[in-house]
Structure 1
Amino acid sequence: MEVPMSLSHSLETQSKLIARVTDITGRALPEWFQTIDNGPSFLRCEERANWLAQEHGLSHGYAAAIVREHERHRHSRRM
């Protein structure tokens, strides 16, 4: 059984991963956000990251960073 990476990595690591998402995955963040929005309705971020990694062939580090950034954007839109 594969153990998923925690979604709680440092802000520095998060920034570095997000800065490279487009280069590494070939898709920009808004495309990933749309993928998450159109995907299964998971209650937990870890579930979304696992799905993103498995369904789209991402490393758990990048999947977790994308999900974390998606949550941050969703939160900032509500405020």
Structure 2
Amino acid sequence: MSLNHSPETHKNLIARIPKVTGRDLPEWFQAIDDGPSFIRCEERVNWLADEHGLSHGYAVALVHEHELHRRAVRY
């Protein structure tokens, strides 16, 4: 999955998510894990935006961060 924004912007979005959404990253990661089993990241982004009312930018940042976290935990 490619980022639509710079690494710095991604970092800033991730840092703001708890304040903007009222949920910490582990809660969002659990929501993604418990959500529908999508193959494509873009499908997860659209689901987060539609189901949870997130802006596209925050949804992209969350899905990307979730993928990074999953890969780090796996290895």
Common fold: TM-score over 0.5: yes
CA contact under 8 A between 1:32 and 1:66: conserved in structure 2?
Answer: yes
2:30 equivalent to 1:34: yes
- Structure 2 gap ranges (5+): none
What RMSD in Å do the two structures reach over aligned CA positions? 1.2
Q: In structure 1, which of residues 2, 16, 31 is the aligned counterpart of residue 12 of structure 2?
A: 16
Number of residues of Structure 1 aligned to a counterpart in Structure 2: 74
Q: Which residue of 1 aligns with 2:62?
A: 66
Q: Give the distance between the partners of 1:49 and 1:67, measured in 2 at CA.
A: 6
Structure 1 residue ranges (4+ consecutive) displaced by more than 3 angstroms after TM superposition: none
How much has 1:7 moved relative to structure 2?
5.1
Identical positions, percent: 66
- Structure 1 gap ranges (5+): 1-5
Instruction: Tell me the TM-score normalized by structure 2.
Output: 0.94
Q: Give the distance between the partners of 2:74 and 2:2, measured in 1 at CA.
A: 21
Q: Give the distance between the partners of 1:31 and 1:64, measured in 2 at CA.
A: 16
Tell me the secondary structure at the aligned position of residue 40 of structure 1. coil
2:44 equivalent to 1:54: no
